[in-house]
A and B are shown apart, each in its own frame.
Chain A
Amino acid sequence: MSENSIALIFAFPLFGAVLCALVGRKSRNLCHPIAVASLAGALWGGIETLRRVIASEANEVSYYFGGWNADAYPRGVGIEFRADYLGTLIMLVVVGVAFLVAIYSKLPVAEETPEKEGSFYTLFLLQVTGLAGICLTGDAFNLYVLIEVAALTGYGLIAMGSARAAAATFNYVILGTIGASFYLLGVGYVYMKTGTLNMVGIQEVITADGLADSAAMQVAFVFICLGVLIKMAFFPFHAWLPNAYFHAPTATSSLLAPLVTKVMIYVMIRMTLTVFGVDFSFENTLWTEVIPWLVVIAIVCAATMALAQRDVKKMLTYLIVAEVGYMVGGIWVYNYYGFIGSIFHVISDACMTLCLFLGVGIILRKRKTTHFDGLRGLFRKMPFTMGGFFVGGFSIIGLPPTCGFFSKWYLITGGMLAERWEYMVALMFSTMVMVVLFFRLIERIHLAVTESGENIGHGHGDLALPDSETFFDEAHWTMLVPLLLSASVVLVIGIFNQDIVNLIQDFLEPFDLPKGTDR
């Protein structure tokens, strides 16, 4: 059982999806338990894989589907799935987030997309299969297929919402296809020059044949990076994201918002470190000069646009765009600590974004709107929900001991050691914007303050509330428990950050990244 743990991570959701599709028509109520159970199985497989990776000598475990193992065949024959610390940690985040969202989704799915439970959970589980597969695959073309699996199911999940969601999804389809196709083109050029699709194999051929100066490889690198940047909604290419996630059904946006952009950041880290190699990615290209400045523009613009929103959910979608800027910056300042920050931020940002979106889903269900005007007096009604929501908000701001503080700490350290002051300034600016955003929310949620800042409740702020609105009215436990769990994960990752950072350091050690200012 244990030696197949990598395969089980995919087997459980894949067969769960098939099962959901089969029983979905007849007995809709079975779909939710099937989804939760299969994701629990996948979570077990993920934890087992992490245990094996830690126990293994080389800190990585390979799995060959169909028995095309490396002992009998040359590398590159057959598709290898390779679990190292980077992939395993992010895969665990994917499966864990999906597990919590699956529990949470029972009520929102039944209410927002009635009669469609079967197709919803089918797409949901396939989405998780695709995202977890991206984290573990060791084959460049297989990565493309899994990106498209995740994208296609994502289109379906988002479009299940209103007609507005369908219109937003159309833009997502167009941009997502351009991004994935650029990636595919890049892989074509890589294959042309190296003759292999195995990620480690590509790296070996680049080193052995000295392909660093090859024009075709440079073109491949540009295409792959551009494709991944479009898919991760990096600032100039972000246009598809806010509307798609805003109009998506609650359960969909709770699943996609924490995961999709982060997994694409993972792809960028994987491409720069493992596939093309540090020398090729950072020493020979102009990108290390240009991208940090693009990151600055991205962070500042996205944070400013978030500041302009009057709707919590919409505001959070712009925060995602800003966070993407953080992580891309952490990679391209080209510093050891920047990479630690980037990888750790992928993990912590997924957890805190999950926390916030779960909270927003509850607000939307109770108040039928996520506009700022609909927030007043929420704390009195739902103290636990709002407590969990605030933990996510504090983590986005970066208050200790939440995980957001530590990941931002490493990002800023990386920017400082690489002498990328502009990146540091952008991070500080964005932090201040987030302080404004969340304290504005906290003010509205606690007090009965109107849009114009006028306090309609004299004295304690809630006197003006109608009697019917002041009683304790907490969210249903299937929604509250995942939110509180995700909030405690945010705190636990923050408190035990050193253990995770140690694993990330073990992963980064062989890559010989610059640790100080001596670039």
Chain B
Amino acid sequence: MRAVSEADSSIMFGEDGLLNELLVERFNYCVYVVLLLIGLYAMIAKNNLIKKLIGMSIFQTAIILFYVSIGVKEGGTIPIYVAEHDPHGNHAEHAAHPEEANATEGSEENATTATASHEADHGHHAPRSLTDEETSGYANPLPHVLMLTAIVVGVATLGVALALTQRIYRAYGTIEEDAVLAAILAEDAATVIPDVLSTKPKRAKAKSRKAKQA
């Protein structure tokens, strides 16, 4: 697609150049990738649990931005039936031109049956797919609808994670990950295996290997 012209610089800066493509045509996608990586970094590298959750929110928002970008169309409007596609609009049309409808249905049938079969053809109660021409002015609503679900899922996840953070804070008195880990290690080292069958004094065993994986 990209025109390779005589000047090398046009690959970068020309009308169809890389820079143009990235910054003008695909700007949304670049932003989404940057946000995604910021979120991922925060989730993995940050020490503070709340900062991890902030990263998680950024991560999920990046995906929402990606989906919304898919559905955008220049000049597109919200997809609601305009009057001429509306079933009730059709009724008005019939009322206005009854003889025209009869003419198209055939002259041997009387007016009432013709109107009934005409209605059945149009399928008032069984919607049909719109043609490409009819939908050209609409933006695709599906990605936005999907993202409503994803936002709900994200909120629920965040809620669960915040509740967990609160429990961790109550138990360990900190929300720094390494301090929590240190507390867990100390707890493990102090644990003595209750041996119900012990016939001799049992040595307290530090389960260091297990603690390492905690």
Contacts and interface: CB of A to CB of B under 8 A. Distances in A.
Q: Do A and B come from one complex?
A: yes
Interface string A133-160: 0000000010011001000100110010
A381 to B, nearest CB: 10
B156 interface: yes
Interface string B113-152: 0000000000000100100000000000011001001100
Contact of A173 (B160, B195, B200): B160
Interface residues of B, number: 48
Contacts of B193: 369, 371, 373-374
A178 B43 contact: yes
A73 B127 CA distance: 9
A185 B66 contact: yes
A448 B200 CA distance: 13
Contacts of B150: 144, 184
Provide the main secondary structure of the chain B interface: helix
A152 B157 contact: yes
Contacts of A188: 63, 66-67, 70, 143
A73 B63 CA distance: 30
B81 interface: no
Contacts, number: 120
A173 B200 CA distance: 43
A369 B194 contact: yes
Contacts of B129: 73-74
A504 B15 CA distance: 55
Contacts of A167: 168, 171-172, 180, 184
A425 interface: no
A163 B168 contact: yes
Contacts of A374: 193-197
A367 B196 contact: yes
Interface in A3-54: none
Interface residues of chain A: helix, strand, loop or mixed (majority): helix
Nearest to B207: A310
Interface stretch (B3-11, B52-60, B86-94, B98-106): B52-60
A308 B56 CA distance: 34
A69 to B, nearest CB: 11
A148 B43 CA distance: 18
A476 interface: no
A242 interface: yes
A64 interface: no
Nearest to B156: A152
B152 to A, nearest CB: 9
B30 interface: no
B194 A72 contact: no
Interface string B23-67: 000000000000000001001100001001000100110010011
Contacts of A368: 194, 196
A181 B63 contact: yes
Interface in B153-175: 153, 156-157, 160-161, 163-165, 167-168, 170-172
B210 interface: yes
Contact of B214 (A243, A305, A310): A243
A231 interface: no
Contacts of A369: 193-194
Contact of B199 (A155, A309, A464): A464
A456 interface: yes
Contact of B210 (A73, A74, A141, A311): A311
A145 B153 CA distance: 8
Contacts of B209: 308-310
B164 A159 contact: yes
Q: How large, as a class, is the contact surface on chain A?
A: 35 or more
Report which residue of B129, B143, B160, B170 has the largest number of chain A beta carbons within 10 angstroms of its beta carbon.
B160
Contact of A184 (B44, B63, B164, B210): B63
A466 B164 contact: no
A178 B63 contact: no
A294 interface: no
A303 B195 CA distance: 27
A428 to B, nearest CB: 26
Contacts of A243: 213-214
Nearest to A308: B209
Interface string A164-176: 1011111001100
Nearest to B57: A177
Contacts of A173: 56, 157, 160-161, 164
A311 B67 CA distance: 46
B184 A177 contact: no
Contacts of A164: 184, 187, 214
A314 B59 CA distance: 32
Contacts of A213: none
Nearest to B59: A181
B36 to A, nearest CB: 8
Interface in B171-209: 171-172, 180, 184, 187, 193-197, 199-200, 202, 207, 209
Given A174-B52, A181-B59, A469-B196, 10 more contacts: A141-B149, A145-B153, A163-B167, A164-B184, A173-B164, A185-B66, A188-B143, A197-B142, A368-B194, A448-B197
Interface of A: 72-74, 141, 144-145, 148, 152, 155-156, 159, 163-164, 166-170, 173-174, 177-178, 181, 184-185, 188, 191-192, 197, 242-243, 305, 308-311, 314, 367-369, 371, 373-374, 376-377, 448, 456, 464-466, 469
27 contacts: A141-B146, A156-B160, A159-B160, A166-B164, A166-B167, A166-B168, A166-B171, A167-B180, A167-B184, A169-B164, A170-B49, A170-B165, A173-B157, A174-B43, A174-B56, A174-B161, A177-B43, A181-B63, A184-B63, A188-B143, A192-B70, A309-B210, A373-B193, A374-B194, A374-B195, A377-B197, A469-B196
Interface of B: 40, 43-44, 49, 52, 56, 59-60, 63, 66-67, 70, 126, 129, 142-143, 146, 149-150, 153, 156-157, 160-161, 163-165, 167-168, 170-172, 180, 184, 187, 193-197, 199-200, 202, 207, 209-210, 213-214
